[in-house]
Amino acid sequence: MSLRRRASKMNNTLDIITGSKLGKRHIVEDILGEGGFGVVAKCQNMCTGRTEAVKVNRCEPDDMYQAFVEISLLKRLRCLNADTCNIVEWNGYFFHEENICMTFEVLDVSLDTYLTQRGNPGLPVTEIRPVLHQVATALSHLHSIGVVHLDLKPENIMVVDRTQQPVRVKIIDFGLSGLLSEIKQGLRQGSTWYMAPEMILAAPLNETLDMWSLGVIAAELAMGCPLYPGNIDYDVLSYIVETQGHGCHPEGRRNSRLSCLDDIGHRMSMLHLDAGQRVKAREALQHPFFAPGVQRKEDAQTVDLSEVRVQHPATFNLNEHLKAKMGMLLCACYNFIFLDSFIDLFL
């Protein structure tokens, strides 16, 4: 490892160098990641001897404000046990010059990286089941104290140690999270690929926003590729229409590549288009899919969805037919009951 490794110039207000010191007690060992917020560095705490992940926020006014908002929320999460609730352990914050630095436990790799490194078209059910259960458990605890994550995606779910089976995971990055009581219609947070349709369409919101994201992640773990990788909102919504196209593609008349999605079931409702009917995290944990000792012949197999994968174009031609579909989907979010969930794919 180079002792002169730096954060890239995109974070030009930061100059994080391996071997340098952050604050009074942290020595930088490596750069773990970068983003619009700043840099995450792997550091040794000279006082405790522990290795910690330090999130160094840029000192721009907006970034400073967002960092204080995140710290306020992280303080709220201290009533939860980080290990049993499957959320990253936060150890506090300090200042490095004008930069706010938050310290966390060091985890292994993101779920996105884990899936890529496996090199498989998807994970076997024996691996998918514990991951979904752990994330649903985390969401159940977060929602119980009035917190919604709002940016759940594979990059924000970390594998604790990829060498252990079954894998343990934890939710990270509460930078966009908020209080359920403060969520207002029209809020826009997170990645469009994993965003619930009611958020895209500026419809009323509730905590099941996170459950939609988990349902999309479940499908991605099974298929080995993102379910709705649209470049713009219309792309994502049109994928949803194609896979759940009630009213546009009646059952039995859908594209053959997508028709088997109707066999997935109507029980857990993670991907229910009506947020009011979508399953809550605590309810999902009671589903038979998670019953202790459940073992099925399909468990050792990866889920073959090769016939379901959509040939995602870079963009869709936004013709009148597609615009009509979007209007139907908007109505659907308020008025209808649709395809419930991908979860019974694993039953």
Closest CA to 31 of 62, 59, 60, 10: 10
Residue in this structure with the two tokens 């990788």, named with its chain if needed:
229
- 10 Å CB burial of residue 73 (0-12, 13-18, 19+) is middle
Find out whether 275 and 204 touch, Cβ atoms under 8 Å: yes
Tokens of 143: 């929602």
Find out whether 233 and 192 touch, Cβ atoms under 8 Å: yes
Verify whether residue 151 is a known catalytic residue. yes
Torsion sign over Cα 17, 113, 147, 129 = negative
d(CA 135, CA 6): 33
DSSP 43-70: EEETTT--EEEEEEE--SHHHHHHHHHH
Task: Considering the candidates 151, 173, 210, 235, report the single residue annotated as catalytic.
Answer: 151
Instruction: From residue 332, give the alpha-carbon distance in Å to each of 98, 181, 201, 230, 337.
Output: 49, 25, 11, 20, 8
Residues 6+ apart with CB under 8 A from 87: 77, 80, 138, 141, 142, 170, 171, 172
Task: State the Rg of the chain over Cα.
Answer: 21
Q: Which phi and psi (to 5°) does residue 254 adopt?
A: -75, 165
Find out whether 29 and 43 touch, Cβ atoms under 8 Å: yes
Find out whether 149 and 224 touch, Cβ atoms under 8 Å: no
d(CA 215, CA 232): 20
DSSP state of 2: -
Q: Which amino acids are annotated catalytic?
A: 151
